[in-house]
Structure 1
């Protein structure tokens, strides 16, 4: 992949001859066209493609969370790519005939901020979830105003819900109102804390399965 400042006749996108122009991380780049091949992919290659698709399909709906709070924002890999790399390696497993996510190992955020202490989740009514935790403000860089981020996923329906402002660390509890179509459904969820200025964030915690009822 080559980079250029002004392009051939200026920056361009799309295919021109044997190269493709595009914008990548704020730079204009040119890529050579991939060579066509008549090779039949091996079983291993097919499985790897299925694995990639499974992870991508799971992470895509929560991209607004991943793209803000997963790993450092600098370097060659985007936060999305960092998340894909981790989940491909550690958070997906093959259960014949499909790849499935290992919810306990899923991460919606990865960072150095002090995380959630002694969290718990219940469903006090058919309209939502209640999260509780110990207020550990004052430990390390944790402060009362750190914001709770929540991701909820219903495996049976494939539906997601997330909030980037579920409450603050200092309150020790938060009630999350869910859309009505989550009522009666078992959900998986993950939570994390993010600094109010969004410059630091904690590695997320898996909260287990609970039925919204």
Structure 2
């Protein structure tokens, strides 16, 4: 039964006939009643569904970085959805060995903005540690010594991430992250980005390296 909330011309919620009324992000939305299709999905449909789930799951795992990184672009949607739209066209690579699509990790971006990216970023590995480093840069409106660095290390086998937000300033030129002991011997993907000192401005995230944890 549909319930009128503001008289006969106002929005309604729940189901009435073939229509469903609900509130979504502060807006009153009316949609048609969902009907499950009995047709078998095509190869392209199955592929699209697989890609959708693959990218969506990845972005949800790293949303602690995506939420501030795509906040400016999340107009009427979540930051994860904004990141999904931006990344989708370059997010996948076909694994020839398995014939399945995988996330194209070097192409993924968890943050966008004007703050200048790190110069020549690198990652070195030691037992139980990863050390990020970058080169000094001249200061400008969007490149300040006080800009704060964020780091992301993603483990595709465990589907887990180690991340630190606004961990150290640009002037430090380096930062060491401790890795869990269970990561030893496993391959991880490493990213970093800068944001302004007050956190109001973000910069593009960059893929730094793929390496094996010791």
TM-score (norm 1): 0.85
Q: How many residues align?
A: 207
| C-alpha RMSD over aligned residues | 2.6
CA shift at 1:173, angstroms? 0.8
Which position in structure 2 is the counterpart of 1:209?
A: 210
1:172 Cα deviation (Å)? 0.7
Is 1:120–2:122 an aligned residue pair? Answer: yes
Q: Structure 1 residues 172 and 192 mapped into 2: Cα distance closer, same or farther (>3 Å)?
A: same
| Aligned pairs for 1:1-213 within 5 A | 15-17=14-16, 18-24=19-25, 26-70=26-70, 72-73=72-73, 75-95=75-95, 96-126=98-128, 128-136=129-137, 138-213=139-214
Separation in 2, partners of 1:175, 1:88: 31
CA distance in 1, matches of 2:62, 2:106: 17
Mind listing any 5+ residue stretches in structure 1 that lack a counterpart? none
Residue 184 of structure 1: CA displacement?
2.9
Once the 2 structures are TM-superposed, how far is the Cα of residue 187 of structure 1 from its aligned partner?
1.1
Q: Give, in angstroms, the shift of residue 63 of structure 1.
A: 1.1
Q: CA offsets per residue over residues 13-69 of structure 1, 9 Å max, x none?
A: 6x3333141331x33433332344322221111110011111112111111211211
Change (3 A) 1:161 1:12: farther
Please give the alpha-carbon distance, in whole angstroms, between the structure 1 residues aligned to 2:141 and 2:7.
48
The answer to whether the 8 A contact 1:144-1:170 is kept is yes
Cα shift readout 1:56-113 (whole Å, capped 9, x = no counterpart): 1211111121121126345344322221123221121233432101111011111111
